[in-house]
Structure 1
Amino acid sequence: MSEQLTGGCCCGAVSFSVKDDFKKFFFCHCEQCRKLTGTAHAANLFTLPTNITWTKGEQLTKRFDHPTRAFSRVFCTECGSGLPFLTQNKKFLIVPAGSLDQEPSKEVDANIFCEEQTKWHQTGLQAEKVTGFFQTKK
């Protein structure tokens, strides 16, 4: 039996649970995923559409489907955080890995669309590693 993981948005308005039964895990570097996430790549887990239960705030989600391409995004209408969504063909549930509260058991399968990876991301992987960059004023 698969473990249940929890997840949600940054502001806490939307939450869900999902079976830790992911079939694929990709870091996608394509231009569309960079635009949809505002980051260097999307980190998406793929599972069956029936593996999710929305526990709070599903009505506060909004979906964007590109009008001519097969990519989508669902996000919290309060804080904009990326949330799970069904692919347009409804074959898979895509769960943004960053929306999870726990680590999934699935390891990353591949970096995809690497030919579209940005130079700043490639060089950034070699940059100094710093923890606690932002300090809270006392």
Structure 2
Amino acid sequence: MTTFRGSCLCGEVAFEVEGPFDRFLNCHCSRCRKATGSSHSSEVIVQAAALRWLRGEASVARYDLPTARSFATAFCKICGSPMPHLTRSGREAIIHAGAFDEPLGATPDRHAQWSSRADWYVHGNGLPVED
């Protein structure tokens, strides 16, 4: 097993996750686009017991969308960075891939809600690269 550490932008919150990951996906649903302000969320999903808070758990706020059966998001109360959260069932943890501090050695294994993707999303490597 491998341990992956992550944190928020301001450093108030830190966590670790025991790998391997159950799933690693890009979700293109409109809710994930709103929550991230991007074309999709990139999420690692693990069993709840694989997530451990190292510091700052009290600085994490959670929002459960009341009109949704299962949509939630969590973020650092200080800097607003997306943070891990448990599913409503409490069985799994969802972690935004961008919250990890080191390379994951993995890539997403699927696109979820592909038919809901933004009409401006470009899939693939056809765009120019800027450093």
TM-score, scaled to structure 1: 0.88
State the alpha-carbon separation in 2 of the partners of residues 38 and 130 from structure 1.
Answer: 21
Q: Secondary structure at the match of 1:21?
A: coil
Alpha carbons of structure 1 residues 123 and 87: separation in structure 2 relative to 1, 3 Å: closer
1:21 aligns with 2:20: yes
C-alpha displacement of 1:112: 1.3
Q: What amino acid is aligned across from residue 114 of structure 2 in structure 1?
A: C
C-alpha displacement of 1:104: 2.3
Q: Deviations over 1:107-138 (max 9, x none)?
A: 3111111112123222796332100xxxxxxx
Q: What amino acid is aligned across from residue 43 of structure 1 in structure 2?
A: S
Gaps of 5+ in 2: none
Structural RMSD (CA): 1.6
TM-score, scaled to structure 2: 0.92
Note if contact 1:20-1:104 (Cα within 8 Å) is conserved in structure 2. Answer: no
Identity of aligned residues (%): 32
Alpha carbons of structure 1 residues 23 and 124: separation in structure 2 relative to 1, 3 Å: closer
Aligned pairs (5 A) from 1:29-108 = 29-69=28-68, 70-108=70-108
Alpha carbons of structure 1 residues 83 and 77: separation in structure 2 relative to 1, 3 Å: same
State the alpha-carbon separation in 1 of the partners of residues 64 and 123 from structure 2.
Answer: 32
How many positions carry a matched residue from both structures?
A: 130
Q: What amino acid is aligned across from residue 97 of structure 2 in structure 1?
A: A
C-alpha displacement of 1:16: 0.8
